Amino acid sequence: MNQPGDNAVDMMTPPPLPGSEPVVVENPLAALLKAPAQLAGIMARNEGLFRTGLLFMLCALVFHAVFGFAIGLFSGWGIGLMAAVKAPMIAFFALLLCFPSLYVFSSVNGVPLTLSQTFMLGSSCLAMIGLLLIGLAPVAWLFAVSTESLPFMVLLVTAIWFVSLSFSIRFVNKLKTGTLIRRTGGIGVWFVILALVTLQMTTCLRPLLGKPDPARGWFTSEKKFFLSHYGSTLDEPASPAKSGPKR
């Protein structure tokens, strides 16, 4: 039975505001966009981290492959298939090389992640980048099949990737609502390292947008710094049909 005064207390308690209830999302991939706090809870409780991290990794590679195919159509179907292979390779190897630094920088910054939690965090960041890339893939495809300007395509793809990276950083900042990740300064430094490594990895696995040299195949062994590579690419002629092999 209700005690005297219970009704008065109920009347004094304001109803919850619309939209203030926590969003419950069972799909981990959807939680990246709608409820990152749930992922923070999963990491804090060590609940199926390897399985969820592996799901994020596989989805990220597929998303990067779709985006690579879309931009590769700039030079035809064959280059689209080549870029669909190279784009996930770039993402995977960049994250693999940056995995130790993510573990170290997060620990030094006061976020002592385990190896499985680090794998989960890195995979989720890559999946977030992939989600943004596949969301903007139709835009990239439109310009890839309707323009002949290689410099413009390079600038467009680079801008799309940096936008995707910024949303991944925003996603990590939202993880601070959990009990595990309270500080993100060290992880922010790690994002700078990830960006530099990804740009250099793109240079190592060139070409991505243009036709490769038939004598070299899909890859080139020539050493080059990414700033030099991007600078020379921006100086390329506009038409892929007339200018020959592209970087």
Token representation of residue 83: 């870029």
Q: How many domains does the chain have?
A: 1
Q: What's the whole-number mean pLDDT along residues 41-50?
A: 83
pLDDT digits (tens, 9 = 90+) for 93-131: 999 999 999 999 988 888 888 899 999 999 999 999 999
Tell me the pLDDT of the chain averaged across its residues.
Answer: 83
pLDDT band at 236 (very low <50, low <70, confident <90, very high): low
pLDDT band at 186 (very low <50, low <70, confident <90, very high): confident
Angle between helices 36-45 and 150-174 (to 10 degrees): 60
Q: Is residue 31 part of a domain?
A: no
C-alpha angle 116-120-123 in degrees, rounded to nearest 5: 135
Q: Is residue 244 part of a domain?
A: no
How does 165-202 read in b/e, with b if 16+ C-beta sit within 10 Å? bebbbebbebbbebebbeebebbebbbeebeebbbbbb
Q: Is residue 239 part of a domain?
A: no
pLDDT band at 183 (very low <50, low <70, confident <90, very high): confident
**Per-residue confidence (pLDDT) for residue 26, from 0 to 100:** 64
Q: How far is CA 112 from the centre of its chain?
A: 23
Q: Is the pLDDT of residue 160 over 50?
A: yes
Q: Is residue 185 part of a domain?
A: yes
Q: Is the pLDDT of residue 71 over 50?
A: yes
Q: Is residue 10 part of a domain?
A: no
pLDDT band at 215 (very low <50, low <70, confident <90, very high): low
Q: Is residue 18 part of a domain?
A: no
In the chain, pLDDT over 70 holds for what percent of residues?
Answer: 82
Q: Is residue 86 part of a domain?
A: yes
Q: Which domain holds residue 144?
A: 36-234
pLDDT digits (tens, 9 = 90+) for 27-38: 888 888 888 888
pLDDT band at 21 (very low <50, low <70, confident <90, very high): very low
pLDDT band at 140 (very low <50, low <70, confident <90, very high): very high
pLDDT digits (tens, 9 = 90+) for 56-68: 999 999 999 999 9
**Per-residue confidence (pLDDT) for residue 23, from 0 to 100:** 43
Helix (H) or strand (E) holding 38: helix 36-45
Q: Is the pLDDT of residue 172 over 50?
A: yes
Of 104 and 16, more confident: 104
Which candidate, 41, 59, 169, places its Cα nearest to that of 117?
A: 41
Token representation of residue 123: 């995979």
C-alpha atoms less than 13 angstroms from C-alpha of 180 in its C-beta half-sphere = 23
Q: Is the pLDDT of residue 11 over 50?
A: no
Q: Is residue 192 part of a domain?
A: yes
Q: Is the pLDDT of residue 91 over 50?
A: yes
